[in-house]
Chain A
Amino acid sequence: MKVVNLGLLLVDSPRSKAYIQKLVKHSLIPQEAIFFAKEKSENSNSKRASMSSVENAIVRAFNGRKYFLYDPKLKHNAVMIGNYAKPTKYLSFDVDEPVTVTLEKHDIPYHKVRAPSINDQRVIEAVRKARPEHLVFCGGGILRTAILGAGKKFIHIHPGKVPEYRGSHCIEWSVLEGNSCWASAIFMSEEIDEGDLIAQQDFPLPELENNNVAALYSSHIRSELLIKIVKSFVQEGSFPSAMQDPKVGRTYYKMHPALTNLIFHELRTGC
C-alpha cells in the first residue's frame, strides 16, 4: 500500500464510495480525508417565515424537484419514478458500504465536519488544516470563492466532455445529443466546470437494466479516470493541466424525466 500525497473531501454519496474504495483497491491510500456531513441550517425556518405563501410554495417545489405532482393520484407513481431499483451493472464498488467504514478499515485519517453547507467556515478551516496540496472533490454543493481560496487545489472529475458539456447530468445530455460518454478531470475554479483540464477519457455507452444505471455509471467512470490520474501523479509528481476556452461549450442543467426517458429508449433500442 502506498500513501499518496492527496486528500479527499468526501460526502455520503455513491461517488465518494466509488472514489475511496477504488483508490484503496489500487493500493493508492490518500494521506487524509475530510468527511462533510450536512446538517439542517438553523435559520432556514426563519427565512421561510418571511416568504409569501406562493414564494414558499415555489421554494418547496423547486427543492423537492416535484415533477407531475399536481394530481394526488399521481403521487405514488411520481415517487416510484424517483425510487429506482438498484442495478447490478457497474457495481465496481460496494454502494452499501459507508464511507467512514472504508476509511477506518484502511486506517485513513479523517476529520468529520458537520455543517449546513460545504462552504461553511468549519469546512473551510478543515480544508486549510489539511496537509495535502490537492484535494479531490466528491460533491456536496458548489464550492464558492472562500473555500476555493483556502490554499488547496481541488480536483473534480466531471462526467462529461469539457468544454462542450458543462454542468449537470452531462452523461444524459451527451448521450441524448451525441451518443457518447466522457469523463474529464479538472482543477476547480469559480466558474462551473471551466477550470484547467488535467485529463479526459471516453467510455462506452452504459448498458441499461433500469433507470438508475446512469447515476451509478457516472460514479463508475469518474472513479476509473480518478485512478488513472492519481497513478500518473504518483509517477510524475504533478498533474498536467491545460486551459479551457470559456467561450466554447454550453452549461447544462438537471434533465427532466420526460427527456431522460428518451435516452433509456434510445440506448435500449440502439437508435
Chain B
Amino acid sequence: MRTNKTMIFYRYSRDEVIERLLARFGSSGTHSTDGSFFLEDFTDNLHLQSSEISSRLDNVWSADTRHVLQAICVRSLRDSSLLSVNSVWQYLEFLRVCFEVSGKIYDRYSEPESRSRSGSWGDMENYMLLGINLMFLYQRNHYLDLLNTILKVNDLLQLLSEQYLEDKLVSLLLYSLTEERKEMLALYESREFRLTAG
C-alpha cells in the first residue's frame, strides 16, 4: 500500500469541512459515515407529492433546474431504475457537461439544441443536487468521469460553503461530501492505495 501528499490533503480537507458542517448541523461526531441520514433530512422537508415529481420529470426542459433535480433525487431514492430512463440520464449528462465547460448551472435551460438558458447561476442547491444525482449514477455504473465531476462540484461547494451556505442546505452538502469520501476510499482501496498518512 502507498500514500502520497495529494491524497492526504484530500482526506484532511474533506474531513475538516465535514466536521465543521456536522457542528453546524448539530450532530458533531454522529452520522459521520452514514450519509443517507442527511439526505433523508433534506428530502423529507421538500414534501414532494408523487404527482408533482412525475410532472417535473415529464417537463424537464420547461421546469426550473432545481425542481427537476429535486424530483430526480427524491424519485431515485425510491426507485433507482429512474436513472436508466433516457430522458433523465440525458438531462443529467447535459448539466454535467454545462458544469464541466463553464462551471455554471443556470436556473433554467431550454432544449439542448437551442443552447438557451436563463436566470442566475448562483443557486448552490442546483450544484449540490447535480452532484448527488451524479453520485447515484456513479454508484450504478462506476464511470470515473462521473466521479471526476462530483469531485469538482464538491470542491466548488466546499469553497463557497463558509460564506454562502444556507442552513437548509447543510444536510445536503453533508450527504454529498460523505458519499464522495466513501466512494473515493473504496476506489483507492480497490487499487491498493490508501488515503491515510503513516
Which A residues have a C-beta under 8 Å from some C-beta of B?
51-55, 57-59, 61-63, 66-71, 74, 77-78, 80-81, 173, 176-177, 250-262, 264-266, 269, 271
Shortest distance between the CB of B13 and any CB in chain A (Å) = 4
Query: What is the size category of the interface that chain B forms with chain A?
Result: 35 or more
Per DSSP, are chain A's interface residues mostly helix, strand or loop, or mixed? helix
Contact of B6 among A52, A55, A59, A258 (CB under 8 A): A258
**A261 pairs with B16, CB closer than 8 A:** no
Contact of A259 among B100, B151, B164 (CB under 8 A): B151
**B100 pairs with A253, CB closer than 8 A:** yes
Shortest distance between the CB of A258 and any CB in chain B (Å) = 5
Residues of A within 8 A of B77 (CB): none
Contact of A258 among B10, B12, B16, B164 (CB under 8 A): B10
With known contacts A62-B103, A266-B191, A52–B151 Cβ distance under 8 A: no
CA A254 to CA B101, docked complex, whole Å: 10
CA A161 to CA B97, docked complex, whole Å: 20
With known contacts A58-B104, A58-B160, A77–B144 Cβ distance under 8 A: no
Closest to A59 in B: B103
Per DSSP, are chain B's interface residues mostly helix, strand or loop, or mixed? helix
User: Which of A77, A173, A266: most chain B Cβ within 10 A?
Assistant: A77
B94 within 8 A of A: no
CA A252 to CA B102, docked complex, whole Å: 14
CA A59 to CA B41, docked complex, whole Å: 30
**A269 pairs with B2, CB closer than 8 A:** yes
Residues of A within 8 A of B162 (CB): 70
CA A152 to CA B147, docked complex, whole Å: 39
With known contacts A52-B122, A81-B9, A256-B148, A262–B191 Cβ distance under 8 A: yes
CA A254 to CA B145, docked complex, whole Å: 9
**A57 pairs with B164, CB closer than 8 A:** yes
B48 within 8 A of A: no
Residues of A within 8 A of B156 (CB): 58, 61-62
Residues of A within 8 A of B160 (CB): 54, 57-58, 61
3 pairs of A and B residues whose beta carbons are closest in the complex: A62-B103, A54-B122, A253-B100
B17 within 8 A of A: yes
Q: A253-B148, A260-B6, A262-B188 are in contact. List 5 more A-B contacts (CB 8 A).
A: A57-B159, A68-B13, A77-B5, A254-B100, A258-B184
**A252 pairs with B16, CB closer than 8 A:** no
Residues of B within 8 A of A269 (CB): 2
**B191 pairs with A78, CB closer than 8 A:** no
Of residues 110 through 152 on chain B, the ones whose CB sits less than 8 Å from some CB of chain A are 120-122, 124, 144-145, 147-149, 151-152
**A265 pairs with B120, CB closer than 8 A:** no
Shortest distance between the CB of A117 and any CB in chain B (Å) = 15
Contact of B191 among A55, A66, A250, A271 (CB under 8 A): A271
